[in-house]
Chain A
Amino acid sequence: GQQLNQSPQSMFIQEGEDVSMNCTSSSIFNTWLWYKQDPGEGPVLLIALYKAGELTSNGRLTAQFGITRKDSFLNISASIPSDVGIYFCAGLYNFNKFYFGSGTKLNVKP
């Protein structure tokens, strides 16, 4: 299967700081998605990206679809305690199968 390398694995930041995480692959993906998962819950979609180079925002979250179609980035500005959770990237390969990264665990200190 396709491999998505997500980094960093975990982050410990202070409330108010900005956060960046990314996902890379050796394969080309048609769509990139970013999800947040809280403990004991299913992932919740944050942002969907459909075109190479696309930059999309959702409140304090901004994500970009890399120009090579092999990577994507998620930024969170001015973090708050409720941003705590695990963030996953997911890429759509060959228009029919999704592959997920292993997640970035975010901890925010008040």
Chain B
Amino acid sequence: NAGVTQTPKFRILKIGQSMTLQCTQDMNHNYMYWYRQDPGMGLKLIYYSVGAGITDKGEVPNGYNVSRSTTEDFPLRLELAAPSQTSVYFCASSREGSYEQYFGPGTRLTVT
């Protein structure tokens, strides 16, 4: 039981490039979330999903896209990377009806 896994751990992007951050959970959780954490700050919700095929915007969705085709996977897509997207990205999941989120180890992204 690996919990929530994220790949890659680190990535450097040039301005304008695109990439997908991967997130997988093996706990059969319906709810999944993407957060970003800027240095010295708390986490901000980007997108969340309450089940396969259902996604919704969080507090800071601009510049990102998500999809949820399976219960296990919730990838986050950056289409045109900008320096403001330099951050650490965390994926989390929780059971339906529970707000106790389990976090992955994070992806550290630098855009230069």
Residues in chain B within 8 A of chain A (CB atoms): 4, 33, 35, 40-45, 48, 56, 58-60, 90, 92, 99-106
Indicate if the CB atoms of A42 and B104 lie closer than 8 Å: yes
Q: Which 4 A-B pairs have the closest CB atoms?
A: A42-B103, A100-B42, A1-B59, A100-B43
Min CB distance A14 to B, Å, is 25
How many residue pairs bridge A and B at CB < 8 Å? 58
Residues in chain A within 8 A of chain B (CB atoms): 1, 4, 6, 31, 33, 40-45, 48, 88, 90, 92, 96-103
6 interchain pairs (CB within 8 A)? A1-B44, A31-B99, A33-B99, A42-B105, A44-B103, A98-B45
Q: Given that A42-B90, A88-B42, A96-B48 are contacting pairs, would A48 and B103 also be in contact in the complex, using a CB cutoff of 8 Å?
A: no
- Chain B residue numbers with a CB within 8 Å of A100 are 35, 42-44
**B59 partner, pick from A48, A97, A103, beta carbons under 8 A:** A97
- Chain A residue numbers with a CB within 8 Å of B43 are 43, 88, 90, 98, 100
- Chain B residue numbers with a CB within 8 Å of A48 are 99-100
- Chain B residue numbers with a CB within 8 Å of A102 are 40-42
Q: Given that A42-B92, A42-B104, A48-B99 are contacting pairs, would A4 and B59 also be in contact in the complex, using a CB cutoff of 8 Å?
A: no
Q: B44 — nearest CB in chain A belongs to which residue? A: A100
- Chain B residue numbers with a CB within 8 Å of A1 are 44, 59-60
Min CB distance A26 to B, Å, is 16
- Chain A residue numbers with a CB within 8 Å of B45 are 97-99
Q: How far is the CA of A6 from the CA of B41 in the complex (A)?
A: 11
Min CB distance B56 to A, Å, is 7
Q: A45 — nearest CB in chain B belongs to which residue? A: B100
Q: A6 — nearest CB in chain B belongs to which residue? A: B42
